[in-house]
Amino acid sequence: MDCLFCKMVEREVPTEIVYEDEHVLAFNDINPQAPTHVLIIPKKHIATLNDIEPADLETAGRLQYVAARLAKDKGFAEDGYRVVMNCNELGGQTVYHIHMHLLGGREFTWPAG
């Protein structure tokens, strides 16, 4: 399968990994939109949010747990931060392997663009 994020899981593409466990990998975004911009992905290939199945629920929840843990580790959990998952074309998804963006270290506005 020609998937960039699967290649990261397989270490075929260089990445700055910030967290890894059996089911999840987190690495710095190559084009950061905030002082901290980390992508948290399941190791299993799931193309979009629409493709999550009941068997994936624990892993999906783990993405959120890892985001909060990294926010605490990086020291901005109490001040606040933003997590984002883009889905399909109108949602702005460009890599079709689900990923949670963790953005921190600055103030964010709402609604998102």
Among ligand AMP, Zn ion, none, what binds residue 3 when CB lies within 5 to 8 Å by partner kind? Zn ion
Which residues make Cβ contacts (< 8 Å) with residue 104, sequence separation at least 6?
34, 35, 36, 71, 74, 76, 81, 82
CA distances from 26 to 70, 79, 100, 107, 109 (A): 9, 21, 9, 22, 24
Which residues contact ligand AMP (rule: CB under 6 A)?
4, 13, 15, 29-31, 39, 86, 92-95
Nearer of residues 37 and 44 to Zn ion, judged by Cβ:
44
Distance (Å, whole) CA 46 – CA 78: 31
| Annotation marks residue 101 as catalytic | no
Among ligand AMP, Zn ion, none, what binds residue 45 when CB lies within 5 to 8 Å by partner kind? Zn ion
Nearer of residues 30 and 112 to ligand AMP, judged by Cβ:
30
Q: How far is the CB of 50 from Zn ion (least distance, A)?
A: 15
100-104 and 81-84 strand pairing:
antiparallel
Nearer of residues 43 and 69 to Zn ion, judged by Cβ:
43
Among ligand AMP, Zn ion, none, what binds residue 36 when CB lies within 5 to 8 Å by partner kind? none
Contact present, 24 and 63 (Cβ < 8 Å): yes
